[in-house]
Amino acid sequence: MKLLRFGPVGQEKPGMLDAQGQLRDLSGVVDDISGAVLSDAGLAKLRALDPTELPLVEGTPRLGACVGEIGKFCCIGLNYSDHAAETGASIPEHPILFMKANSAISGPNDTVMMPRGSTSTDWEVELGVVIGKTAKYVGKEDALDYVAGYCVVNDVSERHFQTGLTGQWTKGKSCDTFGPTGPWLVTRDEVADPQALTMHLDLNGTRMQTGSTATMIFTVAEIIEHLSQLFTLHPGDVISTGTPPGVGMGMKPQPVYLKKGDVMDVAIEGLGAQRQEIGQDA
């Protein structure tokens, strides 16, 4: 299934795509794509529906983040061997973890607003993992059973805020609109192997990132195992699993960063595509 949320900011309704790619309204069945809806039982209930009997949504409404009421937005840094190489970083011994503020979460096609003082806003296409049931002390052999589904994330990053200001990476990762998520959540039964997905990001029509989850240093299962030893993962938590090479800060002979009016096109095989125009806070 492909589950999504549509409507104005703060008023999103739950929906699903039917076999013809048409948007169907789920608001008469569930309140949101969140919490218990993401459990195996909750997803089975939705899977049993006949989409053609659900109200058809006309037009092209705004899409919100594909998960509502996200509890934690966990992100893994330097998790692709080829990305680590382009930044000159050593291969980490354990997954590098930072948190992205929930106020950064936005729809997949919403405008990304560079904050005041931004000089180095960058892009990062990433595989998002949505947790479907409570996970604590989970082994990697069972970890994927705790996944509700997968989605596209653009981990937008302000590099000066991230590395030039005293403190943690969170400063450069958490600016408003820096977490486009979606367009939809693809349930895990439709993703045969999360470690075999191609991905790319284009800037103004030019391919900047091309990669595959096959080059992850830590697999989705290993990430869930590691995080669940540290704290409990809850239904609706999202894990953004790192980016392949081709980010702006790694460009030679000098970095390339976003500017007002730029357009990013972001996609992962089987998970859909995003498009964001860049704006600038006054």
pLDDT at position 194: 98
CB crowding 158-170: b at 16 or more within 10 Å, else e: bbebbeeeeeebe
User: pLDDT tens digit string along 56-83?
Assistant: 999 999 999 999 999 999 999 999 987 7
Q: Determine, yes or no, domain membership for 33.
A: no
**Residue 124 Cα to chain centre, angstroms:** 10
Kindly report the CA angle at 221 between 32 and 181, in degrees rounded to 5?
A: 35
Alpha-carbon torsion (189, 187, 276, 22), positive or negative:
positive
Q: Which two tokens stand for residue 150?
A: 């997968």
pLDDT at position 90: 82
Q: Write phi, then psi, for 58 (nearest 5 degrees).
A: -80, 155
The 3-state DSSP class for residue 282 equals coil
pLDDT at position 145: 98
Kindly report the CA angle at 19 between 14 and 21, in degrees rounded to 5?
A: 65
Q: Determine, yes or no, domain membership for 96.
A: yes
Q: Determine, yes or no, domain membership for 23.
A: no
Which are the contacts of 167, defined by CB distance < 8 A and separation ≥ 6?
Answer: none
pLDDT at position 202: 98
The tally of CA atoms less than 13 A away on the side-chain side of residue 74 is 25
pLDDT at position 86: 76
Q: Determine, yes or no, domain membership for 78.
A: yes
CATH number reported for the structural domain that contains residue 97 in this entry = 3.90.850.10
Q: Determine, yes or no, domain membership for 42.
A: no
- Digit-by-digit pLDDT tens for the chain (282 residues) are 999 999 999 999 999 999 999 999 999 999 999 999 999 999 999 999 999 999 999 999 999 999 999 999 999 999 998 777 777 778 899 999 999 999 999 999 999 999 999 999 999 999 999 999 999 999 999 999 999 999 999 999 999 999 888 888 999 999 999 999 999 999 999 999 999 999 999 999 999 999 999 999 999 999 999 999 999 999 999 999 999 999 999 999 999 999 999 999 999 999 999 999 999 998
Q: Determine, yes or no, domain membership for 59.
A: no
Beta strands in 41-184 (DSSP E): 73-77, 96-99, 105-106, 112-114, 121-122, 125-131, 147-154, 157-158, 179-180
Cis bond leading into 253, ω under 30°? Answer: yes
Q: How many domains does the chain have?
A: 1
Strand partners, 273: 267
Q: Determine, yes or no, domain membership for 16.
A: no
pLDDT at position 104: 98
| The residue type at 172 | G
**Structural Rg of the chain based on CA atoms:** 18
pLDDT at position 113: 98
pLDDT at position 81: 84
Beta strands in 30-188 (DSSP E): 73-77, 96-99, 105-106, 112-114, 121-122, 125-131, 147-154, 157-158, 179-180, 185-187
Q: Determine, yes or no, domain membership for 191.
A: yes
Q: Could you tell me the residue range of the domain that residue 91 belongs to?
A: 68-280
The 3-state DSSP class for residue 108 equals coil
